[in-house]
Structure 1
Amino acid sequence: MKRKCYCVEVYTIKPGDTLYSICKQYSVSVCDLMMANRIQNPYNLRIGTKICIPGEMDPTAGMEPAEPACQGTLYTVERGDTLYMIAKMHGVTLNAIMEANPDIDPYNLRVGMKLCIPR
């Protein structure tokens, strides 16, 4: 049975933070933290970014599952897509997409990659 992961705390990235230091502080694996926050490049943390600290839900705790990280539409990158083309297609700016997806490399989109398109 696949375990369910919930956001047990929201953490704001500070100067000097690394994924390893955050994971050590909260006793979670780097892999779990990366998956919970869709982090693709662990060396590209942006100060001020809020991330979910994942954990398993205790059914007696009365916690609700974490809301999806994307406050907009999820778009799956297709062959030939560029960030500019995706922004234009959805009527948003490049900056808006990059702010909603702080861990993407705009010059290295991969087919199947999920992008958050903000409202």
Structure 2
Amino acid sequence: MPYTIKAGDTFYRIAQTYGITVDALMQANPGVNPDRLFIGQVICIPTSGPTPPPTPGSCPTLRQGSRGADVVRLQQLLLGHGFNPGAIDGIFGPNTHSAVVAFQRSRGLTPDGIVGINTWTALGVNCSGGPTPGHCPAGTFAYTIRSGDTLYILAQRYRTTVDAIMRVNPGINPNNLQIGQVICIPQQ
């Protein structure tokens, strides 16, 4: 993927940001002298395809000043939803902040520019580590947690038991359900 050199960039810093080695970066840019980079120069960042979304259950809180692979994922997701974060560079700067605020406003979230579980979920990331819609076992259906939901209320609503819900959702914490979290509900 193309990357535009900015003030202070080095191959080492770029490699760290994208989780690659300096050698891989040098191989992807033959003829570029890493000791003579200049602002505005375009280099190639080697990738093995699109950066995957954060792993389930991994939705780090990001804010202006954050850096790294999770910021790259955030920037790609924002761009995919039609919000331009500027360069996909792994740096949560002013452009990424503006894109996050605009995205949050468009989804009715608090437009604070801080990317937490609600913003990740609105971007389509499964932060719960649980199932995604359409991936529940036979005899169950996917349900997205809403404000006020508890396993007891869901058990009452869907004529099942808290124990039955827990059995089909190993690993969920019934005392820490998150709005937007997807769980499976047994069908009766």
TM-score range, shorter chain: 0.3 to 0.5
Structure with the higher strand share, 1 or 2: 1
Higher Cα Rg: structure 1 or 2? 2
TM-score, normalization: structure 1? 0.44
TM-score, normalization: structure 2? 0.29
